[in-house]
Amino acid sequence: MPELPEVETVVRDLRPMLVGKRFGALKVGKLTLRRQWREEWQRHLIGPTIRAVQRRGKWILIDLDGPWLVVHLGMTGQFRVMPANEPTETHTHFVFSLSPGSEELRFRDVRRFGSISVFADQVNLDAFFAECGLGPEPFDLAKTYWREQLAKSRRCVKAVLLDQSVVAGVGNIYADESLFRAKLHPGRPACELTAREAESLRQAIVIVLNAAIRLRGSTIRDYIGGSGLRGGFQSEFQAYGRDGDPCSRCKTTMEVMRLAGRSTHYCPKCQKR
């Protein structure tokens, strides 16, 4: 599933290709995605100039000078600009023509867990994210807030990292990578972390995410950026998917366990419980 670095890469790819352009015709597929498309949304999209392409958590936000087009990639979503004369791939659910030019913005999603929605203005957009309970960005985590969130939870620290209401954008891959970097066992109750350990984890999250963004995220199966390029951070994994491999620090065999409903990879020596 695309996480923050992958979504940020899509946003950075799309920004120079979309800002200053307008949406023309819109083709909507017959199959329903996670959120039902409403026909009345189309009138908000056609005409306004695209002012900005941004990210919030794992969401892509396209600012249409009033209305907002909001996209979630789900598990297999691909959102990219392509030549209009290039054949449309199967599982393509939305095709936006772009003006000026002869290109299209296409949304393809094999498993259909992604979504595209339109919000009429900033007020409605803010209300949507408030309803979602989306937490702060990892890069904006205040020390006091982060320590308080950990201290009040008896859940394992891995579960807290995956909770989008606590911190937005971190998913399974980067939770494992951050915990490995901070040398913390993913199964430890969050409330048992010391102030020093909490701060080490806060810094590790930022370091790992920035490194992944520099390498365009991680391509495990379906993910590609907004320009069609794959990610490269998967070759830098220190924890995720490395069960059975030697730890890069101590050479102990890496292990995997199930936590918070997700496979969790760690070193039993470097990340002692």
pLDDT digits (tens, 9 = 90+) for 20-61: 999 999 999 999 999 999 989 999 999 899 999 999 999 999
Are 191 and 152 a contacting pair, CB within 8 Å? yes
Among residues of the chain, what percentage have pLDDT more than 90?
94
Q: Is 79 exposed, middle or buried (0-12, 13-18, 19+ CB in 10 A)?
A: buried
Q: What's the rounded Cα separation, in Å, for the pair 272 and 184?
A: 7
How many folded domains does the chain comprise? 2
pLDDT at residue 219 tops 90: yes
Q: What's the rounded Cα separation, in Å, for the pair 239 and 178?
A: 9
Q: What's the rounded Cα separation, in Å, for the pair 178 and 183?
A: 9
Report if residue 273 sits inside a domain.
no
Report if residue 102 sits inside a domain.
yes
Report if residue 128 sits inside a domain.
yes
pTM for this model (two decimals): 0.95
172 and 114 share one domain: no
Return the DSSP state at 156: B
Site of tokens 């919030």: 56
Residue 45: which residues within 8 A CB-CB, separation 6 or more?
23, 26, 64, 67, 69, 96, 118
Active site residues: 2-3, 58, 262
Instruction: Write the pLDDT tens digit of every residue in 76-88.
Output: 999 999 999 999 9
CB hemisphere CA count around 244 (13 angstroms): 1
| CATH code assigned at 65 | 3.20.190.10
Pairing state of beta strands 92-99 and 77-83?
unpaired
Instruction: Write the pLDDT tens digit of every residue in 178-205.
Output: 999 999 999 999 999 999 999 999 999 9
22 and 123 share one domain: yes
